[in-house]
Homo-oligomer: A and B are copies of this chain.
Amino acid sequence: MIGIFDSGIGGLTVVKALTEQLPGYDILYFGDTARTPYGTKSPETVTRYALRNAEFLLRKGAKLIIVACNTASSVATDQLTEKFDVPVFEVITPAAELSVKTSEKLRVGVIGTRATVNSGIYEKKIRAMNADAKVWSVPCPLIVSLVEEGWLRKPETRMIIKKYLHPLKVRQIDTLILGCTHYPVVKDIIQRKIGKRVKLIDSSVAVAGKVKGFLEENPGKEALLSQTGKSLFFVSDITAQFEHTSKNILRKKIRLEHVRI
């Protein structure tokens, strides 16, 4: 099974991208809804949670792990890779690579949680790939709350997104990384506010492409992944709101199973 974890149900955007690019593979999802969000917490706390989440997925039979959460990817990947033997994918590198390929003027914007932006990881990765690239990052913490409240069509959401994107618009970026699993849900508004010529990089789609490439090149690893058409969704807390948001993301109802870890 492909194991995916996230701070909450936002990581279902990765499940969606994965089932589009790699249909048929069994998926094991864990959303840490009892401790969500991660984006406002410290690197130490997020790393502790990430290690526990990965252990849970491995115990349940995952043979490959995707860290869907940008915040956890930013601060915990090194420790996850070091500690576990299975391939671990995070969402930062694929999005960074795609942005460098996509950006003609090498002027890249990044939006993410406060923890992701503070980590400086996108700048570091992108500039390691191309030292000429210019990268500007803006923390947009309120977008997570707006999406979780289902305020997808409210004028306040449009205003807040416009305000957040203003400094990136001024810098005339031509590529924008959506550095948080919640952001693809309001992709339309983001596109309208940043301008239609700016290319959006969805880290969910980027990581799914990366995993696909890896499995094509590593048939040994691919053979370990079951394809029985089963997907399991676990969360550490169940609320009506989360079931609602999961439907907003996947456009279908799924059964969230409660597990205490």
CB distance from A234 to the nearest CB of B (A): 14
Chain A 23-61 against B: per-residue CB contact (8 Å), 1 yes, 0 no? 000000000011110001110110000000000000000
A42 vs B236: C-alpha distance when bound (angstroms): 10
Looking at the complex, which one of B35, B44, B239 makes contact with A35 (CB distance below 8 Å)?
B35
- On whether the beta carbons of A114 and B156 are closer than 8 Å, the reply is no
| A230 at interface, CB cutoff 8 A | no
CB distance from A237 to the nearest CB of B (A): 4
| A257 at interface, CB cutoff 8 A | no
- On whether the beta carbons of B149 and A239 are closer than 8 Å, the reply is no
Other A-B pairs, 9, CB within 8 Å; known A141-B145, A156-B160: A40-B241, A41-B237, A42-B237, A45-B237, A114-B241, A115-B239, A142-B145, A145-B145, A154-B163
Give A contacts to B, CB under 8 Å.
Answer: 33-36, 40-42, 44-45, 114-115, 141-142, 145-146, 148-149, 151, 154-156, 159-160, 163, 236-239, 241
